């Protein structure tokens, strides 16, 4: 069975990225796909300073093992200045070796409609740092796509389905190839 780790990359207590990722996790549950969310707000995350992994704290070691044991990822990216938020980039810098040559989907939350191209930054960072391949489509939401805590946009919900179809298919194909 494949397992997907969802990474929630916003430190905002009222994060819409977290709401978007929760909607994505619910879809994985409906499909019976094993998944677990790592929320950056719950971690004792240290700054990446290129020390060996064993010198980071216990929280970091635990997360690293979970990522290494998973086959795929969904990154929840809050858009900051047309790019990836600092905490999420720091997370990837620390854990890049645990994600080597795996597959990922991207869901992103922004303040406005015009920053869609910023998702390309995350795809590029994952490709260059970990040889992670990201599937299309990427999912992009703004505040208008929510009613309270719920993702209500039909378009965004359909995109999540499409993204998960691709991601799960790629994970199964990779598993068969390695069997
Ligand atoms: C430092 C900073 C930079 C931001 N830059 C952008 C931006 O370039 N484009 C955009 O559409 N929204 C931008 N925003 C708005 C966030 O994307 C928006 O608040 C989003 O909801 C953040 O995700 P969160 O709710 O999970 O924290 C920025 C917000 C912050 C705090």
pLDDT value, residue 1: 83
Dist CA 160 CA 164 (whole Å): 6
- State if residue 142 touches ligand 1 by the CB under 6 angstroms criterion: no
| CA nearest to 169, candidates 52, 77, 31, 45 | 31
pLDDT digit string, tens, across residues 22-33: 999 999 999 999
Q: How far is CA 134 from CA 99, 130, 146, 158, in A?
A: 12, 11, 25, 18
- The tokens describing 118, both together, are 């910023």
Whether 177 has a pLDDT exceeding 90, the answer reads no
Tell me, what CATH number does 107's domain have? 3.40.50.360
pLDDT digit string, tens, across residues 61-70: 999 999 999 9
Taking the centre of ligand 1 as the mean of its atom positions, its distance from the CA of residue 172, in whole angstroms, is 34
pLDDT digit string, tens, across residues 44-78: 999 999 999 999 999 999 999 999 999 999 999 99
The gap between the terminal CA atoms of the chain, to the nearest Å, is 12
- State if residue 79 touches ligand 1 by the CB under 6 angstroms criterion: yes
Taking the centre of ligand 1 as the mean of its atom positions, its distance from the CA of residue 46, in whole angstroms, is 22
- The tokens describing 149, both together, are 């805590």
Total domains in the chain come to 1
| pLDDT more than 70, % of the chain | 100
- State if residue 80 touches ligand 1 by the CB under 6 angstroms criterion: yes
pLDDT digit string, tens, across residues 101-122: 999 999 999 999 999 999 999 9
Taking the centre of ligand 1 as the mean of its atom positions, its distance from the CA of residue 161, in whole angstroms, is 24
pLDDT digit string, tens, across residues 144-170: 999 999 999 999 999 999 999 999 999
Taking the centre of ligand 1 as the mean of its atom positions, its distance from the CA of residue 155, in whole angstroms, is 21
Taking the centre of ligand 1 as the mean of its atom positions, its distance from the CA of residue 29, in whole angstroms, is 28
Instruction: Name the 3-class secondary structure at 84.
Output: strand
- The tokens describing 175, both together, are 């598993």
Q: pLDDT band at residue 124, thresholds of 50, 70 and 90?
A: very high
Dist CA 94 CA 122 (whole Å): 15
Dist CA 75 CA 133 (whole Å): 12
**55: number of CA atoms within 13 Å, CB side?**
6
pLDDT value, residue 75: 98
Ligand 1 atom closest to Cα of residue 11: 27
Q: pLDDT band at residue 178, thresholds of 50, 70 and 90?
A: confident
Provide the domain limits for residue 127: 3-178
């Amino acid at each position: 069975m494949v397992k997907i780790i969802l990474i929630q990359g916003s430190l905002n207590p009222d994060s819409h990225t977290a709401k978007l990722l929760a909607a994505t996790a619910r879809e994985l549950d409906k499909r019976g796909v094993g998944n677990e969310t790592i929320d950056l707000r719950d971690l004792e995350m240290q700054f990446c300073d290129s020390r060996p992994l064993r010198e980071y704290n216990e929280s970091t070691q635990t997360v690293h093992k979970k990522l290494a044991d998973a086959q795929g990822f969904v990154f929840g990216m809050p858009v900051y200045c047309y790019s990836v938020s600092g905490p999420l980039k720091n997370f990837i810098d620390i854990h890049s070796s645990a994600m080597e040559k795996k597959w990922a989907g991207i869901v992103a939350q922004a303040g406005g409609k015009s920053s869609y191209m910023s998702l390309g930054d995350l795809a590029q960072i994952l490709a260059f740092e970990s040889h992670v391949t990201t599937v299309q489509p990427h999912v992009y939401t703004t505040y208008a796509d929510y009613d309270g805590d719920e993702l209500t946009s039909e378009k965004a919900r359909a995109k999540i389905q499409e993204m998960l179809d691709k991601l799960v298919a790629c994970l199964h194909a990779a598993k068969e190839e390695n069997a």
